[in-house]
Structure 1
Amino acid sequence: MRYEEAVEYILDIPKFTKKNEPSHTRQFLRCLGDPQEKFKVLHVAGTNGKGSVCAYLNAMLLSEGRTVGLFVSPHLVKMNERIVINGEMITDESFLDIFQFVLEKVKGMEAKGLPHPTFFEFLFGMAVTAFARAGVEYAVLETGLGGRLDATNTVEKPLVTAITSIGLDHMAFLGDTVGQIAFEKAGIIKPEIPVFYADTQEESNRVIEQRAADLGAPCKKIGKDAYEILGIRDKHIAFSCVNAYYGDTTWSLNNIGAYQPGNAMLALEIMRYVLKENSHPKLWRQALRDLKWEGRMEEILPDVYVDGAHNVSAVEGFLRSVPQGEENIILFSAVSDKDYEEMIACLCRNLNTAFYVITLIEDKRAAGMEELQRIFEKHTTKPVIVKESLKEAFSYVLQNQEGRKIYCLGSLYLTGMIKELTSSSK
């Protein structure tokens, strides 16, 4: 079997399986030899920012000379991005080798009448198998859609759990209130295992704290007053920490997202707990400054940014990051199960935009361009241009840039497609 065939098989999984209960994932892991028990797990859930927090934790652990596995989703361009060992994306050869091992175990499960793992379960099984084989000391795991019923939540005794900001997303699966969604995310909290969470709003805070109290889990809230944003310079956002532990030091992130210092602060506090007296914050400072987390207010060409904002709260975070008063250009697309009307309304209300360009993403859930155009024209009097081909849409915004900043957002699928387009043209 070739690598490309392995990827195709995994992509085809949703066509012949359905969501499985956590008990199924546990059976699956047992068939793999319980690889998830061979390292210390840092488990991260949340609506927005969980990938960034995972990336920051990974970078800081590596700076301390620790061996680390990182499991994140979705991937932007290549499936291997989901499985990272000691800072390196898994190779095609290793991917194929682990895939074949996992597939053999899955066929054995099916022979016993057990369901096939889901797309996410299969990749999670591959990731923890890869980490166990590599002998990593730590694994940083990002949940998929929720938390309580997530495949990653079958790790019974993580070292620590973390919950990033909570917002309205995946409401068809997680509930239509912030409290209901927080309940699903808080499902990763384990008895007596410390949980760190980002202060979002009273409703979600209350749910998380109650769940922690019920389970006797030490709970620490990372409030917005824990840090102060100092400004943006040389494409880096600078912030200071209020806690004396970090000293009178300016921290810097290789990003201009106003939402990222909060994510970094959450990761810093987790690191303090994980390494305790063996920690070296000076190393963390350099690691955070050097880390480039793709797809989050990432400058891919001069004054051209991609941002993975794909729900209302993420768009609000994006808006806090855009310089006010400057005229810009927006390239937008979305999937149909998001609240794209409110996302569009937020953009139109709060940005000084010369024109909007709508395109189509390559996904069966893609929102229709005519529908997106109708909503944009409902909320703005600025020109709304429709280009079915992403290549044509991206060429159009570049040709009409005229000194303005271009922001591409609305879906991580769009971000991945643009990154693939720009990398293939280099």
Structure 2
Amino acid sequence: MKFTNAQDVISYLYSLPNLHAKNDLSYIKTVLKELGNPQNKVKTIHITGTNGKGSTSYYLSNLLKKAGQRTGLFVSPYIYEFNERIQLNNKNISDKDLVQVANLVEKAIEKIKEQDPKFSLVTFEYEVAMAFVYFSLKNCDYAVIEVGIGAEHDKTNVIVPEVSVITTIGLDHEKIIGPTIEDIAQEKSGIIKQNRPLVLGDITKQVLPIVEAKAHKLHSPIYLLGRDFTVESDSKIKCQINKKTYVLDLRPKVESYDIAVSLQAFLLLHLDLSTEKIQEAIDSTRIPGRYHLLSHAPMVILDGAHNIQAMQNLLEFVHAQKKKLNGKLRVLITMMKDKDIEEVFSLFDPDDEIVLTTIPYPRAAKLADFPKNIRSNYLYQVNWQDAFDELQNKSKNNDILLVTGSFYLVGAVLEMEGIDASPRN
């Protein structure tokens, strides 16, 4: 098989299964070996976390680019187009390059099948292989690699990074890497590598000993937020690292943690970048689908929060804004049916006006997928565009309209509004 256009590549990727019968790294290692182990030809930073790993990846990528490094970025999910998944110097992979690397991966698979006819890749393995091939072909100095799910068994965990990062540890994907938060901490600790520094974000005391034990065993130096470096947010964000203070534009509190973590990781690379340029790089970073302010009066906010921790952080910020404005909060939400829907909905205030919707995506919840008490309490509109228009039209200047629960819904709204969601710097 030979791909001729990007849409063929994307359609093929989504036709592949999501999981193998056995959850290990043998398949991805086999195909990477056939490709000449491109993951070993680029310096990497590996990032995991229940929340914040995407934001941290973008901040770190921008810092590296500002320091004159040819920088690759592998993230998920995409907001606007599939090509966002693989970036070079903040530019999405071109359709031409996407086709080229997909054909190289496919050629390697066909070669392997000569000896092992049953060999195949799942969707994420294929994407990981394409990313590493692309970064190698483009002679990247560094590549920032965001984990898909977990860490130890994640298909990206085939690298020995310059720095490993764990942003947060909370409940998400419990059926895959849980069920307990301790299990999740153990899985995410799989990102730690022998003698390589580890940067930790807002890690709870409940699971910190699990992570620290793994790091000590592997002689991995630890840099912990709140102990080894700090961040404060008042009228500005102030990060203090190595007795030096970096003053940055104010963002929501949870974003300040991601900024501090990315800055600490960057400084461990000992690249030459002035304080002024560091601040410029962070202040100019825009995270696709995170706290995206679409309009001011009424305030329309788009955010792809899709688990308890992310939604808690988001609603703390949004409810504080609502109080300042003395208005009403309206929420348009869909979620993937495998998420903790009931727990997420318990975070809303009784006077929040919530409309359920869906999107044309296989994992997206339809009406029957929402728990019975949620179905009976809230209006459901199958057409998210109509629901968005109605909520926006009825909102007054001091109200807030929040679109959340899924990055795919956020991306659909941005596309409807004709807004390019790709990062800027």
Superposition TM-score, scaled by structure 1 size: 0.90
> Which of the numbers 260, 265, 272 marks the counterpart of 1:270?
265
Counterpart check, 1:150 vs 2:154: yes
What is the alpha-carbon distance in structure 2 between the residues aligned to residue 62 and residue 52 of structure 1? 16
Residue aligning to 2:401:
406
- Distance, in Å, in 2 between the alignment partners of 1:264 and 1:19 is 36
Aligned pair in 2 of structure 1 residues 397, 425: CA closer, same or farther (>3 Å)? farther
The 3 A distance-change label for structure 1 pair 191 and 392 is same
Matches of 1:166 and 1:218, distance apart in 2: 19
Say whether 1:202 aligns with 2:205: yes
- The one-letter code matched in structure 2 to 1:357 is V
Residue in structure 1 matched with residue 142 of structure 2 by the alignment = 138
| Deviations, residues 197-239 of structure 1 (Å, cap 9, x unaligned) | 11321122111101101111111111288111114xxxxxx31
- Among 43, 50, 53, the alignment partner of 2:53 is 50
Give me the whole-angstrom Cα distance separating, in 1, the residues matched to 2:174 and 2:19.
24
- Conserved 8 A contact 1:67-1:137: yes
The CA distance in 1 between the partners of 2:333 and 2:169, in whole Å, is: 23
- What code does the residue aligned with 1:159 have? E
Give the structure 2 partner of residue 259 of structure 1.
254
Helix, strand or coil for the counterpart of 1:76?
coil
C-alpha distance in 2 between matches for 1:219 and 1:197: 7
Query: Structure 2: 5+ residue runs without aligned partners?
Result: none
Checking the alignment, whether the CA contact within 8 Å between 1:199 and 1:205 is kept in structure 2 is no
Residue 291 of structure 1 is matched in structure 2 by 285
**Superposed counterparts of 1:177-192, under 5 Å:** 177-192=180-195
Query: Contact 1:18/1:118 (CA < 8 Å) preserved in 2?
Result: no
How far off its partner does 1:280 sit? 2.2
What is the identity, as a one-letter code, of the residue corresponding to 1:309? Answer: A
* SS of aligned partner of 2:249: strand
Is the partner of 1:202 in helix, strand or coil? coil
1:330 equivalent to 2:331? Answer yes
Q: 1:58 to 1:425 in 2, by over 3 A?
A: closer
Say yes or no: does 1:417 pair with 2:415.
no
Post-superposition offset of 1:18: 5.2
Residues 391 and 19 of structure 1: is their aligned pair in 2 closer, same or farther, counting only changes over 3 Å? Answer: farther
TM-score by length of 2: 0.91
Aligned partner of 2:41 in structure 1 is 38
**Deviation of the 1:374 alpha carbon:** 4.1
Percent sequence identity over aligned pairs: 28
CA distance change for structure 1 residues 15 and 26 in 2, over 3 Å: closer, same or farther?
A: closer
**1:299-352 CA-partner distances (Å, limit 9, x unpaired):** 134421111110101111102221252421111111111111110011136xx5
Cα distance in 1 for partners of 2:357, 2:21 equals: 30
Q: Which amino acid aligns with 1:310?
A: H
Structure 2 match to 1:159:
162
Stretch deviating more after TM superposition (220-229 or 59-68)? 220-229
Unaligned runs of 5+ in 1: 232-237
Task: Determine the C-alpha separation between the residues in 2 that align with 1:23 and 1:2.
Answer: 29
SS in 2 for 1:330: strand
3-state SS of paired residue (2:126): helix
Q: Look up the equivalent residue of 2:11 and give its one-letter code.
A: E
Evaluate the alpha carbon distance shift between residue 270 and residue 416 of structure 1 in structure 2; reply closer, same or farther with a 3 A threshold: same
The alignment of Structure 1 onto Structure 2 pairs a total of residues equal to 408
Output the CA distance in 1 between the equivalents of 2:358 and 2:334: 6
RMSD, aligned α-carbons: 2.2
CA distance, structure 2, for counterparts of residue 274 and residue 101 of structure 1:
31
Task: State the partner residue of 2:317.
Answer: 321
SS at match of 1:226: strand
Deviation at 1:111, TM superposition (A): 2.7
Q: Is the contact made by 1:67 and 1:86 (CA closer than 8 Å) also made in structure 2?
A: yes
Q: Contact 2:152 / 2:187 at 8 angstroms: preserved in 1? A: yes
Output the CA distance in 2 between the equivalents of 1:267 and 1:281.
14
2:238 to 233, 237, 240: 240
Deviation string, structure 1 residues 364-396 (Cα, Å, up to 9, x no partner)? 222232553843477x7xxx3221011111111
Secondary structure, in 3 states, of the residue corresponding to 1:227? strand
Distance 1:48 1:196 in 2: 15
Structure-1 separation of matches of 2:390 and 2:368 = 18
CA contact (8 A) 2:18 2:124 kept: no
1:76 to 66, 79, 90: 79
Contact 2:332–2:403 (8 Å) recurs in 1? yes
Distance 1:20 1:5 in 2: 27
State the SS of the aligned residue for 1:346: coil
CA contact (8 A) 1:39 1:139 kept: yes
